[in-house]
Amino acid sequence: MAVLDVRGLSVRFETHQGTVEAVRDVSFTLEAGQTLGIVGESGSGKSVTSLAIMGLVPSPPGVVEADAILFEGRDLTKLERGAMRKVRGKDVAMIFQDPMTSLNPLLTVERQLTEVLEIHGIAKGRDARDRCARALGDVGIPNPEKRLEAYPHELSGGMRQRVMIAMGLLCNPKVLIADEPTTALDVTIQAQILELMKELQRKHGTAIVLITHDLGVVAGMSDAVQVMYAGRVVERATASELFAQPLHPYTKGLLTSVPTIDGDPDHRLTSIDGQPPDLARLPVGCAFRPRCAWRVDRCEKERPPLAAVPGYEPRATACFESERVARGETPATAGGGR
């Protein structure tokens, strides 16, 4: 049984400027010990997806709707607040994007770590302190006993992210949601942190949802990848397949905008023309249509559903023209743009 099974998740924000459809109809499953990468540009709804799973979407203005979010068979959307709280932090933990701001600056590391154990009734006092020190040691922080007394501002960015990871793993959660865990870090530290997460996953069998806009990180970490655009999943595949042959125009655009080490230095990096759509005023058809080079008339009136691509099962895309994209044909319309 999948440890996490999300079905038909939608999140919208009711603002003064209108309703913002942040996430539409997102579904995925995650097995124990596996890593799912969710990729997309800013505002594509990947972070909101993770917050919705945790039940942390601020309401109002946020409204979360889902057919089900099953964690080990239990539907998290049907849980009461108290019961949900017990799952949060203990069974499903989360690591946030910015280690600079995600730790409370006014409390010591010890206080912030031990309270997780205390809240979930795992350990108290001396025992909790020892466990926390061990956890800090596990994530590679030297001299953990001393670090416990430090305040966040006395630690470097990498250290803080390690503290965050230690905090997330303190209760040995079944699912760890990591929202851009390495974005704020130097490249060398990034590699260390990712290596650390992989190692911990091997040790505890944790399932990881890795949210990032960094394709390199996804390539190195994930088993499966889900690409999001304008609140919807536009392509789903295993990591290796996706990188080898993108089937959605957007994915293709993303991949060609990344420099590769063996690429021709004279080759121009292409960017995707145009701007991401306004989530409050989504077009009727495909949201990517205005920027799409493969667009056809059909995309304007009809939104392509996420469906398996013939010949590439079980890979799925939300595009009518995936087969042509896969074949590497030239775009139907020249120039792109609007």
Which residues are at the interface with other proteins (CB under 8 A)? Answer: 51, 54, 56, 82, 85-90, 93-94, 96-98, 101-107, 115-116, 119-120, 151, 153, 164, 167, 266, 268, 337
CB 289 within 8 A of CB 300: yes
Rounded to the nearest whole angstrom, what is the least distance from the CB of residue 332 to other proteins in the complex?
19
Q: Which is nearer to other proteins, 89 or 249 (CB)?
A: 89
In angstroms, what is the minimal distance from the CB of 271 to other proteins?
A: 11
Q: What angle do CA 315, 221, 172 make, to 5 degrees?
A: 110
- Minimum CB separation of residue 156 from other proteins in Å reads 15
Which is closer to other proteins, CB of 158 or CB of 304?
Answer: 158
Least separation in angstroms between CB 94 and other proteins: 5
Q: State how far the Cα of 132 lies from the Cα of 135, in Å rounded to an integer.
A: 5
Residue among 63 and 191 whose Cβ is closer to other proteins: 63
Shortest distance, position 305 Cβ to other proteins, whole Å: 32
For other proteins, the closer of residues 167 and 218 by Cβ is 167
Select from 292, 286, 246 the least CA-distant residue to 272. 292
CB of 102 to other proteins, least distance (A): 4
The residue (of 106 and 280) whose beta carbon lies closer to other proteins is 106
Q: Could you give the CA distance from residue 163 to residue 137 in angstroms, rounded to a whole number? A: 10
CB 295 within 8 A of CB 289: yes
Nearer to other proteins, 97 or 322 (CB): 97
Is 36:28 a contact under the CB 8 Å cutoff? Answer: yes
Specify the pairing of strand 207-212 against strand 35-39: parallel
Residues 270, 256, 275: CA angle, nearest 5 degrees:
55
β-strand pairing of 175-179 with 207-212: parallel
Contact 168, 93 (CB under 8 A): yes
Distances in whole angstroms, Cα of residue 116 to Cα of each of 89, 119, 189, 201: 7, 5, 26, 20
Return the number of the residue (182 or 251) whose C-beta is nearest other proteins. Answer: 182
The CA distance from 322 to 24, in Å, is 21
Beta carbon of residue 89, minimum distance to other proteins (angstroms, whole number): 3
